[in-house]
């Protein structure tokens, strides 16, 4: 018996986007999604948008997609970083409606890519929230995020601006280094993250 067929994106009508429905499952289970095509102006605040770094690898992992036409399970290659994000965001009890460019835009269709990229500001604006995926946790990631929380609670910007690594005690220097490591992740250097 042949395996699942590759997923083929169905054409989008003008003003429509695809929404990925991330089905529940345990973290280590394969990712299973369905995809709907919906009019953007009609679905405001009904989905979340994913902001992530593609990286340089090619799509070497696969997710399973329920084909909306045939109701058969198809497969789509994705990058490891996206697979990790979907595993992290998936719950064990409910479907998550998510817009993720690598899946929701037909990457092989140049005309569609152009149209959808032109809609991205509105896609993100219409989402209930944007989930940012920086990648899997490193050994000092939790410490970096905890330190960000501490910095946010400082009452004057001068407290932050006055921090210099060579003037810090060992504990604070470790926190600053963990934050620097976090900020060196590729997502922070993306053109639309850095733009003024």
Most confident of 49-63, 136-150, 156-170, 179-193: 49-63
pLDDT in tens, 46-86: 999 998 877 667 768 899 999 776 778 999 999 998 999 99
What does the domain layout of the chain look like in residue ranges? 5-133, 141-194
pLDDT at 108 exceeding the cut of 90? yes
Are the C-beta atoms of residues 59 and 29 closer than 8 Å to each other? no
The pairing of beta strand 61-66 with beta strand 96-99: unpaired
More confident residue, 61 or 178: 61
| CA gap 175, 142 in Å, rounded | 10
Strands (E), 88-128: 96-99
Instruction: Return the DSSP state at 187.
Output: G
């Amino acid at each position: 018996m042949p395996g699942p067929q590759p997923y083929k994106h169905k054409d989008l009508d003008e003003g429509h986007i695809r929404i990925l429905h991330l089905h529940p499952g345990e973290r280590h289970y394969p990712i299973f999604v369905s995809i709907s095509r919906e009019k953007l102006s009609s679905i405001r605040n009904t989905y979340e948008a994913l902001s992530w770094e593609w990286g340089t690898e090619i799509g070497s992992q696969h997710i399973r997609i329920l084909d909306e036409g045939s109701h058969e399970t198809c497969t789509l290659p994705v990058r490891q970083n996206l697979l990790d994000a979907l595993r992290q965001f998936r719950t064990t009890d409910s479907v998550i409606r998510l817009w993720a460019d690598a899946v929701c835009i037909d990457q092989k269709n140049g005309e569609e890519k152009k149209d959808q990229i032109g809609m991205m500001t509105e896609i993100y604006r219409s989402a209930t929230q944007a989930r940012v995926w920086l990648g899997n946790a490193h050994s000092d990631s939790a410490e970096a995020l905890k330190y960000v929380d501490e910095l946010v609670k400082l009452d004057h910007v001068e407290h932050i601006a006055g921090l210099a690594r060579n003037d810090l005690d060992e504990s604070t220097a470790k926190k600053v280094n963990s934050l620097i490591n976090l900020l060196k992740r590729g997502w922070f250097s993306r053109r639309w993250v850095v733009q003024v």
